[in-house]
Amino acid sequence: MEEKEIKYALVKQHQTIQQLQLFRVMKRGAREKEIERYYKSNDKKTSVTIKMLNELDISDQDLFFVILAMSLVEDRGDIISQESENINIKLWNKLQVDGDFKKWDTIKIETTFYELNKELGKKNGSSGIKWAKESLDRLSLTNIKIDSDKYNGASNLLNYTIDKSQKIVKIAINPLSASVLIEDKKGYVFHNRIERLSLSKAPAKALYSILAGLVTIKRIRSSIRVSVLIEKMYFINWNETISEQRKSFKRSFKKALEEIGKLELWQIIDNQNDTIKIIRT
């Protein structure tokens, strides 16, 4: 995809959403169903429960990032809450907002399948629309529940409705993601969709997303363990893999790393001891 075709380049993602393993690299037919995952922070102050009807892959992450990028643009998104006069009740109710998040604002955008697929570089025929609907279904049936010393709440990643008469897709994102778009505060990660969409393979996109959270702009990370990055890309336990699996994962990782190393603002140095050094200018 050429740079000029990308209208919404900047993604601003909440740090908590960034740290969760919501999207993974998977082979065709390997998508798991009815998943529940539980995480506890190292300081024991935050716990997160994720429920998915269908597992999310890297293409789903691409679509989620497009929606976040659109929501960041001031004239594209409307700020709504449970008390808003212009709220779409169906859209809000299916978002399944609970706890403290009920008091928070969120963002609603209106788009079309044509615009979404064009932004993703996908075809706009019936197959493209079918994929986009299925991806939106997977995203809207993923629920995140957070219990922390700052807030307790739950919400689906997003929800959407379709106005068939006008061919308009209305999308509301979760209040946690919306909070860093509405307010100018810390606790977010920037993703560059121009860089991301220049990567051809899902492993490279997955690794790029992980590294964007670990190495901010104009920063250096001197030692990042390869095995930890592979675990995050594929949602595996490295210690439970056998020798042949490790060789396969490392080959895929090496190719992904080579793709990212070709990006103008990234420099990657192999430390030769299962760690890499990343310089992001």
DSSP string, the chain: --GGG-S--EEEEEHHHHHS--EE---TT---EEEEEEEE-TTSS-EEEEEEEE-EEHHHHHHHHHHHHHHHSTTTEEEE-TT-TT--HHHHHTTT-EEGGGGS-EEEEEE-HHHHHHHHT---SHHHHHHHHHHHHHHHTEEEEEE-SS-EEEEESEEEEEETTTTEEEEEE-HHHHHHHHS--S-EEEEEHHHHHT--SHHHHHHHHHHHHHS-TTEEEEEEEHHHHHHHHHT--GGG--HHHHHHHHHHHHHHHHHHHTSTTEEEEE-SSSEEEEEE-
The per-residue pLDDT for 87 is 58
Name the residue among 148, 155, 161, 150 with its Cα closest to residue 176. 155
The domains of the chain are located at: 3-190, 201-280
pLDDT per 10-residue tile (average), the chain, 281 residues = 73 94 90 93 91 97 98 88 69 90 93 94 88 96 95 96 86 96 88 94 96 88 92 94 93 95 91 86 86
Name the residue among 207, 158, 133 with its Cα closest to residue 17. 158
The per-residue pLDDT for 92 is 82
The per-residue pLDDT for 270 is 80
